Amino acid sequence: MPAGGTLTLRTSEQDGQVRIEVADTGKGLTPEECSRLFTPYYTTKLLGTGLGLAIVQSVVSDHHGTISVTSDEGRGTGVSNRSAAASSGPEYETTRNGGGIQERPIDSGRGIRLN
């Protein structure tokens, strides 16, 4: 989001699973980019190796979790990670917009709070 935007981090817990979601209001990704994000050596960066997200997916999988990406070209991208929960507490949403950070509790369930 070089021109600014909103970055949202959302956490929740349900049925012993923790979900961590990160979403932005950037330019988004094409369907082809989304389908290849976790492919080793695939990169859109001039100096990229294409290994970062492939390694992330491998580590998440080794810990019996899942990671997925959704994107709407021109509107933003979201990444969701699900893993086994270790502890639970209130669910929070943290939003960074411009120079400020807002954190607010969400009443829709229980979750894990990340600091």
Domains and CATH numbers, the chain: 9-85 (3.30.565.10)
Predicted confidence (pLDDT) per residue in 80-93, tens digit: 999 987 655 666 77
Identify the H or E element spanning 114: none
- Residue 67 phi/psi, 5-degree rounding, is -135, 140
In whole numbers, what is the pLDDT of the chain averaged over residues?
84
Checking if the pLDDT of 115 tops 50, the result is no
Which residues partner with 103 through β-bridges?
94
Is pTM beyond 0.85? Reply is: no
Q: For residue 62, with 0-12 CB atoms within 10 Å meaning exposed, 13-18 middle and 19 or more buried, which class applies?
A: exposed
Confidence band for 1, pLDDT divided at 50, 70 and 90: low
Question: CA nearest 5: which of 99, 113, 69?
Answer: 99
